[in-house]
Amino acid sequence: MALLRRTRVHIWFRLLLLQGSWNFERLQGLGFFFALLPGLKKLYPKEKLAEVGRHYLGYFNTHPYLAPLVAGAVLKLEEDRAKGQQPPVEIEEFKEMVAAPYAAIGDALFWGGLRPLAAGIALFFAAKGILWAPLVFLFLYNLIPMLFRISGFIRGYQQGIASVEFFQKRRLPDWAIHTKEAAVVVLGGLSAFLVFQHLQRIDMVSWVGLLAIVPVIVLGLLARKGVSTLLLVLLSAATIILLSLFWTDVTSLVAMI
Amino acid sequence: MSAFDFFIGAMVALFCGLDRTAILQVMISRPIVAAPLVAWLLGEPLVGLQVGMMVELLWLARLPVGAAIPPDDTQVSIASCVIAINLGRLLQVPSSEIVLLCLLVAIPLGKVGQYLDHIARQINVRLLLSAEERLVNGQFLRAEVQHFKGMTNFAIATLGTYTVVVIGTFMLVPIIWPLVENALYHSSNWLELALPLIGVAVILGTINVSRALTLFCASFGMAFLLMWLV
């Protein structure tokens, strides 16, 4: 028995709530069970459902944008199993096999690459005082993840285990690196823009702005050494406030003389 | 502070806070979205844009990977906006300086969000066990309900963080303001520039790209020279 389109859409929407019951023991386990339950209910009689459902309550953790790909493939395998066909690998094994690599790729591509890239671009708009900046960010950021969420689920359901090959062919780890590199370039441009804009606002000579690269690199090295962002913020704020006060005193003293 | 403003802030905090982990993850929880949204609802969208710009990059490098919980920049930015807008009207002071002070006070309080989020995730372990028990008994609907209870725990943690950050900032800022007012007038421009640059620096220091520094310097230099010379 094949799952109706309506049931599949229902499951896809439930996957948007995947992390609603995230916990330290089995991470997204309960959420994955919650998402798949409408499908499992259609495939299994009530007496077998408890046994099947318990497998889904186990440990599960992947990237939320790639979970629909796993869920689609798992549904396909469950469908085959309910028909009496033995899947080439155990569904439990398949789930465990793909969840961790998908999580690693998703984290690098979406959290580590796409998010700073979209934020960097949106901040150009924000720096210009354009009120659409949040919408620019939402549009740029969500375009690709939403595509993955929708097409991943469809591909997963159509291809089952073969969806892994589809995923491999897209060379996502390479894309993650390229996206991160693009993010660094955009952030470099953004920093230059912010510094230049600031110097113009306070009527200071522009070339001084090139020196801004030094504190950024120093702070970056400190962050790499493990110094917390909070500490960097507080130390930098205190330094700037003290230097500003000192500079104000010096200029007023010079004016008096 | 107006109770209505606090309520509006709480609603945005709840909606955006749930997006961080529990539902959707469409990034309405990012400061660049959440802060302008709440500030727009309170009638001063530019304050939100200013806050969003300063906070957005700070913890962007802290990825919510596995069991890692980054500091709650969503509630920091929302609470800063609510307090800055209210105190700005109350104390009749320029918004830029008061926004900065609210932000500098709220940023350390963002750690509370990490703590409360951690508690919510611990409580959710019990829900998992409860769901298992219900499933064995054939109570499928009740097993599903456990998932919604998990979302409720995240919602409570979110609102708890918002309340702590709002109350903390609201109590501390009027005390600190007279002490740092003069200093902030002289340094606000530089602080506004420094916060996003610290965020960029942290991303640069932690991003896993082999030529990050070269790319950054080349991009910075090229963009700066273009703006300077053209």
ipTM, 2 decimals?
0.94
Looking at the domain assignment, is residue A243 inside a domain? no
More reliable by pLDDT, A9 or A90 = A9
Indicate the number of domains in chain B. Answer: 1
The boundaries of the domain holding residue A190 are 5-226
Which pLDDT does position A98 carry in this prediction?
93
Q: What is the pLDDT of residues A209-254, one digit of tens each?
A: 999 999 999 999 999 999 999 999 999 999 999 998 888 888 888 8
Classify residue A138: in a domain, yes or no.
yes
Question: Is pLDDT above 80 for A204?
Answer: yes
Does the distance separating the beta carbons of A217 and B52 come in below 8 Å? no
- Alpha carbon distance, N-terminus to C-terminus of chain B: 47
The answer, for B148 touching chain A at a CB cutoff of 8 Å, is yes
Find the helix packing angle between A213-224 and B212-229, rounded to 10°: 160
A30·B136 Cβ contact <8 A:
no
pLDDT at B191: 94
pTM given for the model: 0.94
Which chain B positions have a beta carbon within 8 Å of A111's beta carbon?
A: 63-65
Look up tokens 């740029």; give the residue: A140
Q: How many domains does chain A have?
A: 1
Percent of chain B with pLDDT over 90: 81
Q: Which of A141, A149, A187 to mutate to test the interface with B (most CBs of B within 10 A)?
A: A187
Is B35 in a helix, a strand, or coil?
A: helix
Residue A168's pLDDT band, with cuts at 50, 70 and 90, is confident
In a domain, A251, yes or no: no
Structural domain boundaries enclosing B69: 3-229
- pLDDT number for residue B96: 87
Task: In whole angstroms, give the CA distance from residue B57 to residue B200.
Answer: 6
Partner residue facing B32 (CB), from A137, A196, A210: A137
Over residues B69-94, the pLDDT tens digits come to 999 999 999 999 999 999 988 887 76
How much is the mean pLDDT over chain B? 93
- Residue A244 maps to a domain: no
Domain presence at residue A255: no
Q: For A60-95, give the DSSP string.
A: B---TTTHHHHHHHHHHHHHHHHTTPPPSS-HHHHH
Q: Which ranges constitute the DSSP H helices of A83-210?
A: 91-106, 115-127, 133-159, 163-169, 172-201
Distance CA B136, CA A135 (A): 46
Check B131 against A33: CB less than 8 A apart: yes
pLDDT value at position B223? Answer: 96
